[in-house]
């Protein structure tokens, strides 16, 4: 049985607890360090231990903690001093393993210590009291009223007699376990030690209140006695007990009246059986007496977290079968010595193992995790394996061992080693039981059989491991593996070409379907056209027409040989040869019509594609191109036997760029010939530049826009230039990036 925690029991409101830290316990004890430097004084060292849960991101330990020192004389309390003390190292308490309890990983308790040194404290006719108060407790506590608004007070009293005798107070030895199991007995040693060996008496007592929720929203309230961190100057003893949820809970029944938890007054042993799950505040007081005189009272409060537990251990062994979850059946065939493999969990919580078998009327026991037994002979033997015997979290595995007669698997095989064929297998297995009942064959090539004496035809050669598992009437099994060296040649050569008839030239794949063969075999191909090959399934290109016979030779790794000829298997038909010319040689946007002349041979049909702009089935078509640029002309020609050939040629239909320059213009505002610019064809023009120059070499106008012209003014914006002769220079590149330059004398007339 696997023991787990039901988290309801450990922390009943995970949402609040796991998101905040709270004080969960604490105590103060003292030591007398000897006389002070002044008469009738003492030096003391007080140690306060504080415990908190470490889940979530809530409050840290107070650093410093405000410790109040008070005097109690003639029934009156007075404030003596306040000490602000830094805490020491923060440590996580070690969880004492309980095989019945597995805590969640985020459940833990941390502790720290505050050390207070008091020097030259006068011996007074009364007591000194040291106290620290802090809000608040976990709101998931079950046994007190309003725990989330109830703080804690940790205090110690040093009586007049303790001062006079320089007494050392008692201190607790252990901190209670973080979690305990409901309905499981507890026996926790909550004892304390005393340096002088004084008489110590233990009792359950009420924890003390101290501090409250004031100051959460108003920091000025912090120092009030109901604030989060009360001011010791204002909050003198005596302190109020926490209020228990009566009548089910009280200081002496902190886990509920039904739980019957008690503390031994002489030993401090807390015992009983908790019957309720939840989180409970517990107070323990230790009274120290010497010669009947009370010296001090050590007080601690803490939390008991009672959870639903299940066993964390489960007794289990490796077996052939499990009956009803707890009876483990093992079968041993032909071997009287049986080794039992223990699979019990969780191993870290298992303290003891106990094996027991009744052999020949005697109980034979062993106390190791695994165990080996030798039984007298064939028969049935029963036993047990107990983990954690006598502990609350124990478990038992019941064992049923069958020692059966032996079984030996064996087989023989026969086959033709040179010519591929089936292998015959013969079972030779024997058993000392009644009879054989089953056979599982694995032929080493993914194929299987359950026939006793099977025949198997291998599709691939190789050194093949054959395994037989034989079974008898007791379900005993034995396994044997033998290797078969299987390298025959195929009994029949089978080839399948991708095409039997093709047009020259053509590549044909010869798919070799013969079995068994692999790449360890030597293969020789004669393709009938003077070419050979050595692949298992080769690809061969035929370049001439005709009919060809194919020959195949196969030799196995052990020297077995076979061959075959496939007469007239491949026929290669003649193909036409496409060819054509076109006129004129230069085709452009001014002359876009071409005449195509077929020069193909062996063709009786034609198909033309003019670069996607048109089609034709004529032998010698004429076509006018609608667009300029590169056109891919495709001619497909057809032989009478259906074979074809294709030829593609590229024609450049060039856009024509052609300019001429006028020799005069008249910018006189009559609406005629007002602007000077080139005329002609400009489709595809690039890098265009026109400039106008005076006879003295002065630049008068320049443009890169083929649509722009000169209006007779300097840069088209200045004063009108005089009548006269000017020079025009035109430079450009045509559609194929060829450079051109034109020059012309221009007469300006007004």
- Tens of pLDDT, residues 193-209: 999 999 999 999 999 99
Mean pLDDT of the chain: 91
Examine residue 500 and state whether it is found in any structural domain, yes or no. Answer: yes
Whether residues 545 and 619 share a domain: the answer is: no
Instruction: Extract the tokens encoding 573.
Output: 């038909």
Map residue 682 onto helix, strand or coil: coil
From 430, 457, 486, the end of a domain falls on 486
Examine residue 85 and state whether it is found in any structural domain, yes or no. Answer: yes
Examine residue 156 and state whether it is found in any structural domain, yes or no. Answer: yes
Comparing 93-107, 174-188, 303-317, the range with the smallest average pLDDT is 93-107
Q: Summarize pLDDT for 450-507 with one digit per residue, the tens.
A: 999 999 999 999 999 999 999 999 999 999 999 999 999 999 999 999 999 999 999 9
Instruction: Extract the tokens encoding 368.
Output: 């190791």
Residues paired with 118 in a beta bridge: 44
Whether residues 476 and 556 share a domain: the answer is: no
Percent of the chain with pLDDT over 70: 95
| C-beta separation of 262 from 250 below 8 A | no
β-strands 371-374, 186-189 pairing: unpaired
Provide the terminal-to-terminal Cα distance of the chain, rounded to the nearest Å: 120
Q: Residue 59 above 90 pLDDT?
A: no
Distance CA 71, CA 51 (A): 27
- The whole-number pLDDT of residue 14 equals 30
Peptide bond into 646 cis (omega under 30): no
Give how many domains the chain has, as a whole number. 6
Whether residues 673 and 640 share a domain: the answer is: no
Residues paired with 468 in a beta bridge: 441, 480
Q: What is the mean pLDDT of residues 706-710?
A: 93
Distance CA 532, CA 523 (A): 10
What's 673's DSSP letter?
A: S
From 375, 404, 433, the end of a domain falls on 404
Range of the domain at 471: 407-486
Please list, in sequence order, all residues whose beta carbon lies within 8 angstroms of the beta carbon of residue 496, skipping any fewer than 6 positions away. Answer: 510, 511, 513
Distance CA 110, CA 119 (A): 30
From 654, 678, 699, the end of a domain falls on 654
β-strands 477-486, 622-624 pairing: unpaired
Run of H or E including 585: none
- The whole-number pLDDT of residue 233 equals 94
H helices present in 443-559, as ranges: none
Whether residues 469 and 558 share a domain: the answer is: no
Q: Summarize pLDDT for 62-84 with one digit per residue, the tens.
A: 899 999 999 999 999 999 999 99
Q: What is the mean pLDDT of residues 576-586?
A: 95
- Name the band, by pLDDT with cuts 50, 70 and 90, for residue 109: confident
Q: Summarize pLDDT for 167-183 with one digit per residue, the tens.
A: 999 999 999 987 888 88
Q: Tell which residue, 422, 517, 414, 433, has the closest CA to residue 472.
A: 433
Examine residue 695 and state whether it is found in any structural domain, yes or no. Answer: yes
Distance CA 386, CA 365 (A): 11
- Name the band, by pLDDT with cuts 50, 70 and 90, for residue 18: very low
Q: What is the mean pLDDT of residues 42-47?
A: 97
**DSSP codes of every residue in 632-664:** EEEEEEE-TTS-EEEEEEEEEEEPP-EEE--SE
Please list, in sequence order, all residues whose beta carbon lies within 8 angstroms of the beta carbon of residue 521, skipping any fewer than 6 positions away. Answer: 461, 489, 536, 554, 555, 556, 557
Distance CA 529, CA 378 (A): 76
Q: Tell which residue, 229, 210, 217, has the closest CA to residue 59.
A: 229
- The whole-number pLDDT of residue 1 equals 29
Q: Summarize pLDDT for 145-155 with one digit per residue, the tens.
A: 999 889 999 99
Which residue's structure tokens are 């030829």?
647
Give the length of the chain.
750
Q: Summarize pLDDT for 378-389 with one digit per residue, the tens.
A: 999 999 999 998
| C-beta separation of 408 from 478 below 8 A | yes
Q: Tell which residue, 271, 392, 229, 279, has the closest CA to residue 53.
A: 279
- Name the band, by pLDDT with cuts 50, 70 and 90, for residue 98: low
- The whole-number pLDDT of residue 199 equals 96
- Name the band, by pLDDT with cuts 50, 70 and 90, for residue 391: confident
Distance CA 592, CA 624 (A): 5
Percent of the chain with pLDDT over 90: 78
- The whole-number pLDDT of residue 97 equals 59
Whether residues 87 and 195 share a domain: the answer is: yes
Examine residue 315 and state whether it is found in any structural domain, yes or no. Answer: no
Comparing 27-36, 93-102, 182-191, 513-522, the range with the smallest average pLDDT is 93-102
Q: Residue 712 above 80 pLDDT?
A: yes
Comparing 335-339, 635-639, 668-672, the range with the smallest average pLDDT is 668-672
Q: Residue 22 above 50 pLDDT?
A: yes
Examine residue 575 and state whether it is found in any structural domain, yes or no. Answer: no
Cβ neighbours, 10 Å, residue 362: 8
Strand ranges, E, within 473-592? 477-486, 495-497, 501-503, 506-512, 522-526, 532-533, 539-542, 546-555, 561-573, 580-583, 587-588
Q: Tell which residue, 465, 445, 443, has the closest CA to residue 454.
A: 443
Category of 417 on φ-ψ map: left (φ > 0), alpha (ψ -120 to 50) or beta: alpha
- Name the band, by pLDDT with cuts 50, 70 and 90, for residue 96: low
| C-beta separation of 38 from 31 below 8 A | no
Examine residue 515 and state whether it is found in any structural domain, yes or no. Answer: yes
Whether residues 24 and 102 share a domain: the answer is: yes
Q: What is the mean pLDDT of residues 89-109?
A: 72
| C-beta separation of 320 from 330 below 8 A | yes
Sheet-wide strand order for 321-323: 321-323, 327-333, 395-404, 379-387, 353-359, 362-366
Examine residue 316 and state whether it is found in any structural domain, yes or no. Answer: no
Whether residues 155 and 217 share a domain: the answer is: yes
- The whole-number pLDDT of residue 374 equals 95
Whether residues 295 and 203 share a domain: the answer is: yes
- Name the band, by pLDDT with cuts 50, 70 and 90, for residue 736: confident
Q: Which residue has the higher pLDDT, 622 or 351?
A: 622
Category of 216 on φ-ψ map: left (φ > 0), alpha (ψ -120 to 50) or beta: alpha
Whether residues 73 and 217 share a domain: the answer is: yes
| C-beta separation of 473 from 420 below 8 A | no
Q: Summarize pLDDT for 716-733 with one digit per residue, the tens.
A: 998 889 999 999 999 999
Whether residues 295 and 431 share a domain: the answer is: no
Q: What's the CATH code of the domain at 400? A: 2.60.40.10
Whether residues 639 and 673 share a domain: the answer is: no
- Name the band, by pLDDT with cuts 50, 70 and 90, for residue 213: confident
Q: Summarize pLDDT for 231-247 with one digit per residue, the tens.
A: 999 999 999 999 999 99
Q: Tell which residue, 72, 37, 52, has the closest CA to residue 137.
A: 52
Q: What is the mean pLDDT of residues 28-57?
A: 91
Distance CA 407, CA 334 (A): 7
Whether residues 463 and 587 share a domain: the answer is: no
């Amino acid at each position: 049985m696997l023991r787990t925690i039901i988290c309801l029991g450990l922390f009943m409101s995970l949402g609040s607890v796991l998101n905040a830290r709270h004080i969960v316990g604490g105590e103060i004890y003292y030591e007398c360090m000897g006389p002070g430097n002044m008469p009738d004084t003492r030096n003391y060292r007080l140690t306060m231990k504080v415990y908190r849960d470490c889940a979530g991101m809530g409050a840290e330990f107070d650093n410093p903690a405000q410790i109040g020192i008070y005097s109690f004389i003639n029934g009156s309390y007075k404030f003596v001093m306040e000490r602000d003390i830094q805490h020491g190292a923060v440590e996580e308490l070690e969880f004492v393993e309980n095989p019945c309890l597995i805590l969640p990983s985020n459940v833990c308790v941390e502790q720290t210590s505050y050390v207070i040194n008091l020097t030259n404290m006068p011996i007074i006719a009364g007591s000194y009291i040291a106290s620290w108060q802090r809000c608040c407790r976990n709101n998931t506590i079950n046994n007190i009223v309003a725990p989330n608004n109830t703080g804690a007070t940790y205090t110690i009293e040093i009586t007049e007699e303790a001062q006079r005798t320089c007494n050392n107070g008692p201190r607790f030895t252990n901190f209670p376990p973080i979690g305990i199991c409901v309905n499981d007995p507890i026996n926790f040693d909550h004892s304390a030690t005393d340096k002088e060996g004084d008489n110590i008496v233990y009792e359950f007592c009420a924890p003390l209140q101290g501090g409250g929720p004031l100051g959460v929203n108003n920091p000025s309230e912090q120092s009030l006695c109901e604030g989060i961190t009360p001011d010791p100057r204002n909050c003198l003893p005596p302190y109020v007990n926490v209020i228990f949820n009566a009548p089910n809970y009280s200081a002496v029944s902190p886990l509920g009246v039904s739980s019957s938890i008690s503390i031994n007054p002489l030993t401090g042993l807390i015992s009983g059986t908790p019957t309720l799950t939840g989180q409970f505040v517990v107070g323990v007081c230790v009274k120290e007496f010497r010669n009947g005189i009370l010296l001090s009272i050590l007080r601690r409060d803490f939390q008991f977290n009672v959870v639903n537990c299940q066993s964390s251990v489960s007794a289990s062994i490796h077996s052939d079968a499990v009956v009803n979850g707890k009876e483990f059946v093992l079968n041993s065939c032909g071997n009287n010595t049986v080794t039992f493999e223990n699979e019990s969990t969780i191993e870290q919580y298992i303290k003891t193992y106990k094996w027991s078998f009744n052999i020949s009327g005697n109980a034979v026991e062993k106390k190791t995790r695994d165990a080996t037994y030798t039984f007298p002979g064939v028969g049935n033997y029963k036993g047990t394996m107990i983990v954690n015997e006598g502990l609350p979290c124990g478990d038992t595995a019941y064992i049923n061992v069958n020692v059966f007669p032996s079984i030996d698997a064996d087989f023989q095989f026969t086959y033709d080693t040179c010519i591929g064929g089936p292998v015959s297998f013969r079972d030779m297995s024997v058993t000392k039981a009644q009879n054989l009942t089953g056979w599982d064959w694995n032929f080493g090539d993914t194929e299987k059989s359950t026939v006793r004496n099977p025949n198997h035809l291998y599709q691939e050669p190789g050194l093949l491991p054959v395994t037989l598992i034989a079974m008898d009437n007791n379900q005993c099994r034995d396994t044997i593996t033998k290797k078969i060296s299987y390298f025959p040649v195929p009994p029949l050569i089978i080839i399948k070409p991708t095409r039997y008839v093709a047009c020259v030239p053509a590549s044909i794949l010869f798919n070799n379907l013969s079995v068994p063969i692999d790449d360890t075999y030597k293969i020789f191909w004669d393709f009938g056209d003077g070419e050979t090959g050595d692949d298992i399934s080769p690809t061969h290109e035929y370049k001439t027409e005709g009919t060809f016979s194919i020959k195949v030779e196969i030799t196995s790794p052990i020297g077995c040989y076979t061959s075959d000829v496939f007469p007239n298997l491949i026929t290669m038909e003649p193909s036409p040869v496409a060819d054509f010319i076109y006129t004129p040689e230069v085709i452009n946007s001014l002359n876009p019509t071409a005449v195509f002349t077929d020069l193909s041979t062996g063709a009786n049909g034609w198909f033309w594609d003019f670069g996607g702009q048109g089609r034709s089935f004529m032998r010698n078509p004429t076509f006018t191109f609608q667009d300029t640029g590169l056109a891919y002309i495709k001619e497909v020609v057809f032989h009478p036997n259906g074979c074809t050939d294709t030829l593609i040629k590229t024609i450049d239909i060039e856009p024509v760029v052609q300019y001429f320059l006028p020799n005069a213009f008249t910018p006189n505002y009559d609406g005629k010939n007002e602007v000077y610019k080139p005329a002609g064809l400009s489709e595809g023009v690039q890098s265009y530049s026109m400039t106008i120059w005076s006879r003295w070499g002065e630049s008068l106008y320049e443009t890169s826009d083929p649509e722009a012209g000169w209006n007779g003014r300097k840069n088209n914006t200045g004063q009108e230039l005089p009548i006269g002769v000017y020079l025009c220079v035109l430079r450009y590149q045509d559609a194929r990036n060829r450079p051109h330059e034109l020059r012309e004398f221009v007469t300006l007339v007004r």
